Amino acid sequence: MKKKLFCLICLFGFTFADETYSVLADPLMSPYSMSENWITTHYALTSVEDTTIGPFKSTNGAGVIGRMGELIFIWGPVNQLMIVTNHEIFGHGYRIRDLGIDFAKVQSYFIRAPFPYNTGGGATTFTITNQTQPEQMIDISIAGMEASSILANRLKMNWMQGRQIDGRVATLYLFSQHDTTSYVYSTRDWPGVEDGNDVGDYVKWFNILHPKGKISINQLRKNVWLNFMDPFTFYSAFAYGKYVALGESAEIYMIPFGDQVYYLPGFRYALAPYGPERYLENYLSVNGAPIYFYLKTGNADRHRSYGLGLEYPKLFIWQYFSLGGRVDLWKQRQTTTPLTFLQVINYGETNRNIPVKNKTLYGVGMYAIAEAKIPNTPVGFLLNLGFKTKGYLPGEALKESLILRFGLTAKF
């Protein structure tokens, strides 16, 4: 046991500096757990590069060309593989695992080699049953973009610790933050869209369930620009350029409130089962500890949804222990039909509207975030424990359920 612990400490020891990184797991391997694992893996890889090759900070032409080639041929493909794998296996795959084999089951995943070695992208192939509901097809269709937005959120929470962005991770953020953006802009308007397109499937199934409040891809295009009202997008682009030019990280400039409190707001546009939503997101760094809170609202088919949430991972700090938590509240509409997915397909051939039932859901999700450090080591244990009521909360189960994530953390 001591030997294993020593090896773990050595791994984190040369990998990280002055920030906390986590390796997490949960029963269904949700996007929240995997996002932390992607971030930890990425920083491990960059640190291996720094300790074996060393920082290459020459500012002459050869240095600039070398770092540009590094980002294009190494870190660009690495980041693409991470985002596509996250989108497929821990986005679509997670939601299918959450629904259970009575409704859907993954047959296979396909991940294509990333640019510039191939065209990139991926796909999730799954089967449905005679119990699958059409609203569940909406849940599955948006799950990949949902996982990407969670990865972007976890990156921003990580950056709040040191308020720095390494240019090698910049495209990982840009790919994840703008997964929905790029998907919407690259999708043709339905019904000309090909089967299996996430945004096209979302619009198709939403309109089948909401015939009096239909949305179009053109409408989504007119609103998804809101994702560019995100300062981290521009900081990431700047970090990319600064790494190429100087081989250095870029500072995140935030609004100061006193000596150790910094704040930065942003906006986001996301797809939800009951219609698109607009987010006002707020990030704070308080003595190097991250805080996140948001407000959101949507208006689709004469129904307005609302939500808000707060995450404060280290509200209380003792010598070897910290305690915080997260709480989310929402008002949303649940639309169901007595018909199954297969029945709706046949029903649609009659050109009649399918029978639906609308119900307003008020819900809450909350969990504690507890971290216990092992004395005299940089390693600790992390536990997220709580519950949520029935309803859609990105990255969590759709039904009423326990929230449980656990793993290791390290800080140097």
Question: What is the predicted pLDDT for the residue at 363?
Answer: 98
Question: What is the predicted pLDDT for the residue at 5?
Answer: 38
Query: Which strand (E) or helix (H) includes residue 144?
Result: helix 134-162
Cα of 316 vs its chain's centroid, Å? 26
Q: At what angle do helices 2-15 and 31-52 cross, to 10 degrees?
A: 70
Cα of 218 vs its chain's centroid, Å? 24
**Pairwise CA distance, residues 263 & 218, whole Å:** 34
**Pairwise CA distance, residues 32 & 184, whole Å:** 24
Cα of 72 vs its chain's centroid, Å? 23
Question: What is the predicted pLDDT for the residue at 326?
Answer: 98
CB atoms near residue 401 (< 10 Å)? 17
**Pairwise CA distance, residues 85 & 73, whole Å:** 18
DSSP string, 38-56: HHHHHHHHHHHHHHHT---
Length of the chain as a residue count? 412
Question: What is the predicted pLDDT for the residue at 354?
Answer: 84
Both tokens assigned to 236: 């990431």
**Pairwise CA distance, residues 167 & 75, whole Å:** 9
Question: What is the predicted pLDDT for the residue at 14?
Answer: 34
DSSP state of 18: S
Query: What are the helix (H) ranges across 227-336?
Result: 231-246
Instruction: Give the residues across from 402 on adjacent strands.
Output: 387
**Pairwise CA distance, residues 393 & 375, whole Å:** 36
Both tokens assigned to 8: 């773990």
Q: Where are the domains of the chain?
A: 2-411
Both tokens assigned to 182: 């790029």
The answer to whether the bond into 116 is cis (omega within 30° of 0) is: yes
Q: How far is residue 264 from each of residues 157, 169, 179, 284, 398, measured CA to CA in Å?
A: 12, 20, 22, 6, 30
The stretches in the chain having pLDDT less than 70 are 1-18, 55, 190-195, 348-352, 412
